[in-house]
Chain A
């Protein structure tokens, strides 16, 4: 094993032929053909949920493809674990680094593969091998520095060296610069170029389109699990990439937007809100208005929702409902008329082991249980009535876990409808929901607005935001960075604002 460190870089040709993958019946990748040319930087771009991560995980052995083939140097490969992929020379540098902070650079690089003499680690040999690996990449790192004290970009170099020391020739980098400062990102770009120059293949997954265009030789666009096109990076521009990532819309899914009275009062007013992940947000929602919160995953959209709802403590700022300040305490925000349908219905919404009926009435028991005593008849009628409105059929005494994702989501909407609200916040209302239920959920949202309720819709699906909202706020880095209304509400404007580099690359 230690000899790998000194061996020349093996060129590795990785190809995908008709690869498909489904999770729980939902296809996330369909019929992907892809060739990763040795010694090149190949970028993978697409919206959230386009299938980039799944694709990289199939190559690195985390998942196996349901259909199609993975070919390594022309031979079919069946990796059942990342370990097997690594043995064939495929390594992943994850966003979360996996280094031992207390150990030195050289020790981390050879962790688990230390050159040994009669069971003892041979420090001299360790150094010599480290120098050999480091020279091949041109990385300038002190082998005796303790990793814990190094900056993230250097730690990523250590991680890359570790992959190289184990003989990796295809290196998958998933959002490598997402956690880096501008300067460190620059440093990493240098690393990627050095890797390609020394004959390695880099598969780069990035949300930063400028970075992709600067670094990559080839770009592949994925959309809804489909391979849209693969072309030379030199032939693409940021806008051509964005266009490819978006594709065409399925506008008919969306109900007509209810008209908003121009004199409608503000239901919600948020002023200078600061909370974990929220860095000073001011926004307002009027009665009957649907406001979309767009942005990338992790941009702070859900955090804003939770800070408004009071489920996380607020550091500063004011949240007002109908002009009256609302403290960060869920039972009280509920009383004021805010209702949040969380991002993850299984973790934040439903008590899965309990009946549908209990789940519908959970947050407004007072209505069916005066004095704390549940009136079974009242509860049954309330639950049936609400489930009928949200079109969930069947016996509501069944466990809610027996329902499909779409119907589970509708149960949560039923809970929201149990009481007249002032503001409804729906975070990713159609995630993991089939098309039929999706339409029903959109209609519920539109109905709520029609009745004069302010709605805040959070979605990673740009089409969804555009199809539902009267006004779109784009969130990045815990701030509202753009407000789009009327003709300015286009997919391109949203994506541009959401993707805009925090600081321009290469300038």
Chain B
């Protein structure tokens, strides 16, 4: 972050060769330095490192390879969803149905594995589960753009519909009462394989995060996502089909929820039928995105931020457990952190003006 030429001289049109000119007086330099601090980034990186260091000192178990590995393995699904949902938020939308989609795809996948069986069943379950997520994402995108229903309401309504559909589908997967269980090796390799000592879900999450991060950072589509959320009218007038861009982000979020549902089914390996799990997942995803510093209003954010945000929350919960603090306080602590994060976002917005 350097400013080569002060604004005022712009009218005189100096050649751009005057790079790295000397700073003016010191006070000016200090002020410029303060102005150029990327406060948004400081806001997540510093607390993340502080908690990480504090936990490493406070609890010897925290920094063990096994604990870190476990945390990452368990967070793989949520990280995948949150990364894709970050794109939805940056493009100016919001997806409250990711939790429901996650559960739905798990049930669809489990039902197919139970009914079809064998390797075919496992392969079909994985494919159809992920595709179901894609389909839901497309529906979310279309109703919240072309049908002009506010995405908050559209995806809220969709999540009720999806949870209802989940119960319908699960009737086919269950032998009488109880849960759908898919404890078959043809499917569970997805969670149990550990290439290079790291669990496959962690690998998958890493690949998805990097791909989505790079897409946002270095592709035309990524630019359009920022533009659609930052100033939809300007983006439209610049020739961007913002509806298509937004639908694509919803489709990515749906697909990610499908992938996460399938992966977590392989880990567990049974589908807990509990709407609260879907709701909590949605909320945690949004909390992670917001704590990471992606703007709830769209137009600003990044995948790496969401990764830090989600891991920050996971680390906090993990720390509470390791330090044997009453889990009662987890929710309270998270709530306070979200308020601080959003308040900071509002503050940095007014500051940058």
Contact = CB atoms under 8 A, between A and B. Distances in A.
Interface string B226-269: 11001101111111110000000000000000000000000000
A403 B237 CA distance: 21
A276 interface: no
B233 A347 contact: yes
A253 interface: no
Contact of A362 (B16, B238, B300): B238
A387 B10 CA distance: 11
Interface stretch (B55-63, B111-119, B214-222): B214-222
Nearest to B36: A398
B11 interface: yes
Contacts of A11: none
Interface in B334-353: 352-353
A415 B219 CA distance: 19
A365 B7 contact: no
A98 interface: no
A373 B221 CA distance: 9
A353 B7 contact: no
A363 B299 contact: no
Contact of B16 (A349, A366, A384): A384
Nearest to B19: A395
B237 A352 contact: no
Contacts of A393: 4-5, 9-10, 13-14, 16
B238 A401 contact: no
Contact of B13 (A350, A369, A391, A397): A391
A125 interface: no
B223 interface: yes
Nearest to B298: A353
A348 B233 contact: yes
Nearest to B227: A351
Nearest to B217: A374
A351 B238 CA distance: 10
Contacts of B300: 353
A415 B240 CA distance: 14
Interface in A426-469: 434, 436-437, 440
Given A353-B299, A374-B218, A403-B7, A358 B239 contact: no
B66 interface: no
Given A330-B237, A394-B3, A354 B10 contact: no
Contacts of A388: 15-16
Given A331-B241, A393-B10, A440-B11, A349 B234 contact: yes
A388 to B, nearest CB: 6
Given A353-B300, A374-B223, A311 B236 contact: yes
A164 interface: no
Contact of B231 (A331, A352, A365, A373): A352
A334 interface: yes
Nearest to B232: A351
A399 interface: yes
Contacts of B1: 397
| Residue from B7, B218, B224 having most chain A Cβ neighbours under 10 A | B7
Given A362-B227, A365-B220, A372-B220, A351 B235 contact: yes
B5 A365 contact: no
Interface in A372-427: 372-374, 376, 384, 387-388, 391-395, 397-399, 401-404, 406-407, 415
B2 interface: yes
Interface string A321-350: 000000000110010000010100001111
A394 B4 CA distance: 5
Contacts of B4: 393-395
A441 to B, nearest CB: 11
A394 B237 contact: no
Nearest to B8: A404
Contacts of A403: 7
Interface string A303-335: 000000101000000000000000000110010
A374 B219 contact: yes
Nearest to B231: A351
Given A365-B223, A402-B7, 20 more contacts: A347-B233, A348-B233, A351-B235, A353-B230, A358-B226, A362-B227, A362-B235, A362-B238, A362-B240, A372-B219, A374-B222, A388-B16, A393-B9, A393-B10, A394-B5, A394-B6, A395-B3, A395-B4, A436-B11, A437-B11
19 contacts: A347-B231, A347-B234, A351-B227, A353-B299, A354-B227, A362-B223, A369-B220, A373-B218, A374-B222, A384-B16, A393-B5, A393-B16, A394-B5, A395-B4, A404-B10, A406-B11, A407-B10, A434-B11, A440-B11
What 3 pairs between A and B have smallest CB-CB spacing?
A: A436-B11, A363-B238, A351-B230
